[in-house]
Chains A and B, each alone.
Chain A
Amino acid sequence: MNPNDLELIHRYLDGQITETELQVFEHSLKDSNELRQEFVQATLLDESLRHALGKVVNEGPKNESVSLAESQVGFSKGAIRWRSVVVVLATSILLLMGLFLLSNRNQLSASEEFSRMLKSLSKGDRLYRIDVEQVVLPSKKQMDKYDRTRPPKPTLEGAKLYVRGLDQFVLMRFVDDALRFVTGSDGQIGWAIAPSGPVRISSDTQRFNRDLPGHEHSIPLGNLSQGLERIQKAYAVQIVAAASNEQFEEQEAMLIATKKSGERGPKRIEIQYGKQSGRIAQFRFVEMPYGPERLTVRLILLDELSLPDNFFSHAYHHPSDQDVIDEDTEQK
């Protein structure tokens, strides 16, 4: 490649290119596929730098919200900012670049896709990592409506979610890289382990899932069949072709569910899944109510595992001599 052409790429990116140089540059771009590739890569890097070193959220109030939220819960601002860049790019380009929505979407029935996902979920155990892409704090008016007697929810950033079947889960949340809160259900008993105090258990398996993404509007990840059913009812669903998943060696599709007017819940839910296997590789909840905040979170499938049989039981996660309070008995 001509070194002058490379220099023109950079002159263009920095707004330095002259009219004459632009004509030469266009001519070279037209003739050279290699130069265009180089230009695309350089533009991508340039735009990523702009996002990474600029501001995540351009609007004033939202930006302030992110900062406030981060300072409150001790997020790494840089980490969230950078994750947001990659995620925004990935989402955009999945939509733009995959050449997307399958040409005859009517043939793809969303319910068939959901069935395949559910079938896949019934096999084995899965580990998802939760990334918080954006935090928007409520307005003062909204905050006033919120029950302040409830303790603030610990951050979901970097949390790990283990899922077995359709109704068993373990959610591990970390504060300053140390495991602090573990909640879960083995399908029969719901339980919660806080950093201090006794373990709490209940025969209501939904009792402790208030910290699961999506639970507030009946899209709990601790009960995926219920969650997917709710999405079908309350959301307009589109199926999009995504890309190949190198980790799981499979072509994937993306299901984009946009909340219908008058319904409650996250504004949009995206589920990336294997076209053949139905394996859910990613969930993304856009503007999901979470306590008084609205979060945009992504759950990424890290691994498919074979965990010990009792992993989803509370006893697996605390010393045998730790006090256990059965809330069913306590209420009586």
Chain B
Amino acid sequence: MQDIAIAVLESFDRYDPSQPFAAWAIGVARNQVRLYFRTLHRDRLRFSDSIIDLLSEDFSKISTSELHRLEHLQTCVDKLDARAKELCQARYSENQKPAQIAQWLGGSPNGVAKALQRIREQLKDCIQRHVQLDGGSL
């Protein structure tokens, strides 16, 4: 996502002041969102342009308070049990897919995928609890 901000800044010289800026910035941002979905994770299948356009708009509505929630992520990761941490490490640090993780750590690819899903849900709930403890409304 940092590519988006950098692209907006680096493209600024090409901005034509006679054109509405917001439309131009959204255009740059959309290109970057497309790039994100198409090239960053080559192991994923690609969305169609119409879906990427919809998602670009949705990404544009993320509020700063939603981002602040993520400040609790590290705390929540620290609370995971050893097996969950191992799975996260393999998926996010080693960038391994469930099938590779299953070969490495044991179990079935489907089992690993389900476990990763549970871990993300667990992290989401943990973040939500922390936000509530902080008195947030999200």
Given A14-B113, A89-B67, are A52 and B4 also a contact pair (CB < 8 Å)?
Answer: no
- In contact, A92 and B5 (Cβ under 8 angstroms): yes
| Set of chain B residues within 8 Å of A36, measured between Cβ atoms | 54-55, 58
| Contacts beyond the supplied A45-B123, A97-B60: 6 A-B pairs with Cβ under 8 Å | A15-B44, A44-B62, A44-B70, A45-B124, A88-B1, A88-B2
Given A15-B97, A49-B77, A89-B67, are A7 and B117 also a contact pair (CB < 8 Å)?
Answer: yes
The answer for the CA separation of A249 and B58 in the assembled complex, in Å, is: 24
- In contact, B1 and A92 (Cβ under 8 angstroms): yes
- Is residue A323 contacting chain B, with contact meaning CB distance below 8 A? no
Encoded as 1 (CB less than 8 Å from any B CB) or 0, chain A from 6 to 30 comes to 0100111111111100100010011
The answer for the CA separation of A256 and B10 in the assembled complex, in Å, is: 12
| Set of chain A residues within 8 Å of B68, measured between Cβ atoms | 86
Given A37-B58, A99-B60, are A53 and B70 also a contact pair (CB < 8 Å)?
Answer: no
- Is residue A95 contacting chain B, with contact meaning CB distance below 8 A? yes
Size category of the B interface is 35 or more
Q: Which of B33-88 contact A (CB under 8 A)?
A: 41, 43-45, 47-48, 50-51, 54-55, 58-68, 70-71, 73-74, 77, 88
- In contact, B98 and A100 (Cβ under 8 angstroms): no
Would you list 10 pairs from A and B whose C-beta atoms are within 8 A, ordered by A residue? A14-B116, A26-B48, A42-B120, A50-B92, A82-B71, A89-B67, A89-B70, A96-B59, A97-B61, A97-B62
- In contact, A96 and B5 (Cβ under 8 angstroms): yes
A16 partner, pick from B3, B41, B61, B98, beta carbons under 8 A: B98
- In contact, B55 and A40 (Cβ under 8 angstroms): yes
- In contact, B59 and A97 (Cβ under 8 angstroms): yes
Encoded as 1 (CB less than 8 Å from any A CB) or 0, chain B from 110 to 137 comes to 0001001100100110010000000000
- Is residue B105 contacting chain A, with contact meaning CB distance below 8 A? no
Closest CB pairs A-B (n = 3):
A15-B43, A53-B92, A10-B117
Q: Which of A102-110, A164-172, A226-234, A313-321 contacts B (4 or more CB under 8 A)?
A: A102-110
| Set of chain A residues within 8 Å of B98, measured between Cβ atoms | 14, 16
- Is residue A54 contacting chain B, with contact meaning CB distance below 8 A? yes
- In contact, B47 and A238 (Cβ under 8 angstroms): no
B59 partner, pick from A19, A40, A54, beta carbons under 8 A: A40
| Set of chain B residues within 8 Å of A48, measured between Cβ atoms | 70, 73
The answer for the CA separation of A157 and B11 in the assembled complex, in Å, is: 32
| Set of chain B residues within 8 Å of A15, measured between Cβ atoms | 41, 43-44, 97
The answer for the CA separation of A101 and B6 in the assembled complex, in Å, is: 14
- In contact, A29 and B21 (Cβ under 8 angstroms): no
Closest residue to B37 on the A side, CB-wise? A43
The answer for the CA separation of A307 and B117 in the assembled complex, in Å, is: 50
- In contact, B1 and A47 (Cβ under 8 angstroms): yes
- In contact, A26 and B51 (Cβ under 8 angstroms): yes
- In contact, A102 and B44 (Cβ under 8 angstroms): no
The answer for the CA separation of A2 and B63 in the assembled complex, in Å, is: 25
- Is residue B108 contacting chain A, with contact meaning CB distance below 8 A? no
